Amino acid sequence: MKLSNLNVTMEDAVVHSADCPKVSQVLSRIGDKWSVLIIMMLSRGTRRFSDLKREIGGISQRMLTICLRGLERDGLIKRTVYPVVPPRVDYELTALGRSLCEPVMALGTWALTHVPEIDAARASFDAREDAGQPARL
pLDDT tens column, 43-71: 999 999 999 999 998 999 999 999 999 99
Q: What is the pTM of this model?
A: 0.71
CB 72 within 8 A of CB 79: yes
CB 64 within 8 A of CB 41: no
pLDDT tens column, 67-88: 999 999 999 999 999 999 988 9
CB 56 within 8 A of CB 34: yes
Indicate the SS3 state at residue 23.
helix
| Fold observed for domain 44-93 | Arc Repressor Mutant, subunit A (1.10.10)
Helices (H), 2-58: 10-15, 20-30, 33-42, 49-55
Q: Which conformational region is residue 75 in: left (phi greater than 0), alpha (psi within -120 to 50 degrees), or beta?
A: left
